[in-house]
Amino acid sequence: MTMYVLIEHHPEGTITASLIGWPAITAQGGTEAEALHALRRSFAAQLGDAKIFPLEFEEARPWLQTAGMFHDDP
């Protein structure tokens, strides 16, 4: 599985790695390798007891109820 990571270098010398699309999963380190290693551990801990499954919702388009109502109105 390929996921994308945002790497940020901070002036104080730390590096933050954030998993894009998963705002709760971030990690810090002194090097990029340390930050990525900590990020992998954080990701594994977050999903350790969790489940991911697809959930479908009926499309909600309330504006369609009024679509065309002024079609013949001059």
- Indicate the domain borders of the chain: 5-49
Q: Does residue 41 sit in helix, strand or coil?
A: helix
pLDDT tens, residue by residue, 28-72? 999 999 999 999 999 998 888 888 889 887 777 777 777 777 777
Based on its alpha-carbon atoms, the radius of gyration of the chain, rounded to whole angstroms, reads 22
Distance, CA of 74 to CA of 20 (rounded, Å): 50
Give the HSE-up count for residue 21: Cα atoms under 13 Å, Cβ half-sphere.
Answer: 5
Distance, CA of 18 to CA of 9 (rounded, Å): 12
Structure confidence at residue 17 (pLDDT): 97
Distance, CA of 39 to CA of 35 (rounded, Å): 6
Q: How confident is the model at residue 16 (pLDDT cuts 50, 70, 90)?
A: very high
This prediction has a pTM of: 0.65
Structure confidence at residue 5 (pLDDT): 96
